[in-house]
Amino acid sequence: MNVFIEHLRVLRATLLRLLLTPNATLLNVLIIGIALSLPVGGYVLLKSVQSLTGQLAGTPQVSVFIKIGTGAGEVARIGDKLKQHAKIERTEFVPREAAFKKLQQSTELSEVIGDLAQNPLPDAYIVYPKATDAIAMESLRDELKTWPNLDHVQLDSAWVHRLEAILGFGRLAVVILAALLSFALIAITFNTIRLQILTRRDEIEVAKLIGATDAFIRRPFLYFGLTQGLFGGMAAWVIVSGSVLLLNHNLTDLASVYTGEFSLQSLSAADSVALLGFSAYLGWLGAWFSVSQHLWQIEPR
């Protein structure tokens, strides 16, 4: 219980110290918030774009063409087998007669189709996989190619590869940016705590003279770094959330040209908790490095 009270006392003293230097505190918090908002904003943009892919490119599908001359019973059996497949969400049967009739209605091909003596099109199934990433779809295509009585299995996966390449590049860019800015924020906290240690050098020497342990002396600085990082994370959350609201307000006209429903996604509760926890940890880590580097150099004279 005494330990808990001591931690509360240190936390209260830390908050008072932050309030006593409002200009420096506000500047540090804003720097941390702006720096963190850049990778977090990139993450929000990537997540929003990924949710839009189905609308822009259509639902990924595999076209399965059955050999001409295959009996109706075998065609139905293939359809049942496709429906029961663990990797397939649903299927759509396209009879050869319906496909030929649709082809005849095409004004560009009406004259050519009119000269055909018989229907050259096969029965087909449109397959909608459960997993829509390129690797999973290509694996399903290769498996279906081994089935009997199938003439051709077609997968248009070029757009999937392009999209995954773009999103992969974006994720890597966000990770690199987050790593670089994290080091920068640790350095900011490191320098802030270093200045505090130098300013309170006499106080630290007196505390060591009366028997204060390193853990006792270190605790206020760690709380300071953690609290400053936490406030910086809150600032980043406000910046990103406010930016999303402003951008969504002006995205209506742009979205109507393409899908009519696109909007940037707000940070979820889990994302918000992760942001605050990560920013607090960075502040604590910078303070810990700084205290470990400078506290041992101060000894009573």
Q: What's the CA gap between 43 and 123, in Å, rounded?
A: 44
Angle between helices 22-57 and 158-199 (to 10 degrees): 170
Domain 61-156 part of CATH 3.30.70.3040: yes
Contact 141, 60 (CB under 8 A): no
What's the pLDDT tens digit per position in 32-58?
A: 999 999 999 989 888 887 766 655 555
Domain chopping of the chain, boundaries: 2-56+161-297, 61-156
Rounded mean pLDDT of 259-273? 79
Q: What's the CA gap between 301 and 299, in Å, rounded?
A: 6
Return the exposure string of 35-53: e unless at least 16 CB atoms fall within 10 Å of the residue's CB, then b: bbbbbbbbbbbbbbbeebb
3-state DSSP assignment of residue 156: coil
What's the pLDDT tens digit per position in 117-170?
A: 677 788 899 888 888 777 788 888 888 888 998 888 888 666 666 777 788 888
What's the pLDDT tens digit per position in 228-253?
A: 999 999 999 999 999 988 888 777 66
